[in-house]
Structure 1
């Protein structure tokens, strides 16, 4: 400086870089959980890399196309033989997500014998958390997963007196390797999805920080309380493609099954569809010719013009199921399973069969 003193030293350092998070996805399928995890990271302003494992080539190819930037780390392998340190050479994961096979825990099996080996899939989560340094875990399954226990050697069915035994042992194993865990059954409709699908979620952390759950954003009727304002559940009406053309139940080469007609008839009664509609469906059940042609004046007089569509769940054969299968399109959809085809939209139309919202 001019007075002879030394100027202070100024160091210019490059802007610090945000480290990419590494997400592991076991039983990854086509990558739904991976998509959600990476979206969450983006919202946090955090880049993320993916390591995913599944045994099914079709699912892995789909996943690679969904995540081309991580394609070389999306592996088609059996988890029994997959080595965590080989697939994750870094030796750590910020988040491990897993959705073990739910088929052999679900009530949807109707009491049929279960595959005990595939019911052991959740133990892979413990193995990966033991061999890698994992900061957080998220596990998703059906609610019945909490009943996971041993099966009878003779019947192949779960032993009722030991219900939940394996689940408790699995939780204790996670706690023994340093995880604090918590679990809940959440309803998708409570978080803005137009379906009432209920799923078990377990979250865990090994870094000593507290566990937090997201607050519900919706409820059945909408409400305001000390927790804030929740919106009303979203209805199926919002996600129905009203441009699609349906098939008349009266002009089919292969008639609908009697149980399907009973569901439609019960729904027509429940939602007060005009008598001619109810009588026409009953005629199909009785094997007689329904009356299908009305003049416009008759249609207006009988209230046949504006009839609210309804949803019909095509499952269950008991009388109770048949009479409780109809739902309003203002309600969320029921659980949509991988098999598909279990929910039908029933509506009254004139000629053409084009679906219309009643407001149109």
Structure 2
């Protein structure tokens, strides 16, 4: 059986996807105790470490065939990164060097790294790729909308395929039929509130009015941000990107409610039996930071098929 380790494992999207692809994840690490706690609850046969991976002792990490990693993305994001004047995220970009360190010590057959597409615009990205190439690997960037892999969510992400090959390996990723948001939304559940009430923002009321004209009495809309901000969006298409904060609202006639944590996990393609915190806010934060498990599974399967 193919074995793997998961760096910056978070809530376990990579690990869940790898398991579904028949890969055994031996070891997972994250610096946030809450993430490690819930990753361990859902993956009891994986060894867990709560650690800043800049300080990792790679000799204590089991040998493996495949490295999986999702280095911190906030420093690269247009919304929250350096370009937006957030120097607190400057150091987060350096987490990507842990991937190089792990590859250098263990020399696995390959690796998969997930991040936002802006990662390739990082000033040190060419040096990072050169370091990986110096270890005998090739790096192939893939920009993927996870909806094309069967995830019921439009989520565009960068997947870097790291292989021991003469040339970068471009995976054959078959485009799946899009799964609509109605597949996981429950308009008969949850706590609803009247749309018209004191304090409701005019922009919200205008968005709902436009949404009704386009989609009828049931649709979803963002509470902030761009994209579907003026019109809402149909439940017959995948939902927009799940973020670490409450973003999406459901509209039903004259009522509305925010997306539930369970619906957010379903939008991310986590299995229905995934254990999660009671805290809605904590669950949303971990879900919004995760790799969609189904996207991870499809990409791992494509890599194994090409090996």
The reply to whether TM is greater than 0.5 is yes
Q: Quick one: distance in 2 between partners of 1:34 and 1:208?
A: 28
Which residue is 1:197 aligned to? 155
The answer as to 2:7 corresponding to 1:26 is yes
The answer as to 2:289 corresponding to 1:316 is no
SS at the partner of 1:107? Answer: coil
Which residue is 2:86 aligned to? 113
The answer as to 2:211 corresponding to 1:267 is yes
Contact 1:34 1:50 survives alignment (8 Å): no
Which residue is 1:255 aligned to? 199
Q: Quick one: distance in 2 between partners of 1:27 and 1:349?
A: 42
Could you tell me which runs of 5 or more consecutive residues in structure 2 were left unpaired when the two chains were aligned. Answer: 258-307
Deviation at 1:124, TM superposition (A): 0.8
Contact 2:142 2:170 survives alignment (8 Å): no
Map 1:61-140 → 2, pairs under 5 A: 61-70=37-46, 73-88=47-62, 92-109=63-80, 111-114=84-87, 115-140=89-114
Q: Quick one: distance in 1 between partners of 2:109 and 2:137?
A: 9
User: Given the superposition, is the C-alpha separation of residues 244 and 133 from structure 1 closer, same or farther in structure 2, using an over 3 Å criterion?
Assistant: same
Larger Rg belongs to: 1
CA offset digits 1:206-245 (Å, max 9, x no partner): 2669835242333xxxxxxxxxxxx3x2211111113214
Contact 1:84 1:131 survives alignment (8 Å): yes
CA offset digits 1:246-302 (Å, max 9, x no partner): 22213x4x532222112112223344xxxxxxxxxxxxxxxxxxxxxxxxxxxxxxx
What TM-score, normalized by structure 1, do the two folds share?
Answer: 0.65
Query: Greater share of helix residues, 1 or 2?
Result: 2
Which residue is 2:249 aligned to? 344
CA offset digits 1:140-174 (Å, max 9, x no partner): 0011111112xxxxxxxxxxxxxxxx111111111
More deviation in 50-59 or 254-263?
A: 254-263
Q: Quick one: distance in 2 between partners of 1:57 and 1:147?
A: 30
Deviation at 1:201, TM superposition (A): 0.3
Q: Quick one: distance in 2 between partners of 1:26 and 1:269?
A: 46
Q: Give 2:27's match in structure 1, choosing from 51, 55, 79.
A: 51
Q: Give 1:236's match in structure 2, choosing from 177, 181, 189.
A: 181
Contact 1:84 1:128 survives alignment (8 Å): yes
Q: Which has the higher relative contact order, 1 or 2, with Cα contacts under 8 A spaced 6 or more apart? A: 2
Deviation at 1:98, TM superposition (A): 0.5
SS at the partner of 1:80? Answer: helix
Contact 2:141 2:158 survives alignment (8 Å): yes
Contact 2:221 2:228 survives alignment (8 Å): no
CA offset digits 1:280-328 (Å, max 9, x no partner): xxxxxxxxxxxxxxxxxxxxxxxxxxx44122112238xx9753x4111
Q: Quick one: distance in 2 between partners of 1:93 and 1:198?
A: 28
Map 1:148-227 → 2, pairs under 5 A: 148-149=122-123, 166-206=124-164, 211-218=169-176
Cα RMSD after superposing both structures: 2.5
SS at the partner of 1:106? Answer: coil
Which residue is 1:225 aligned to? none
SS at the partner of 2:65? Answer: strand
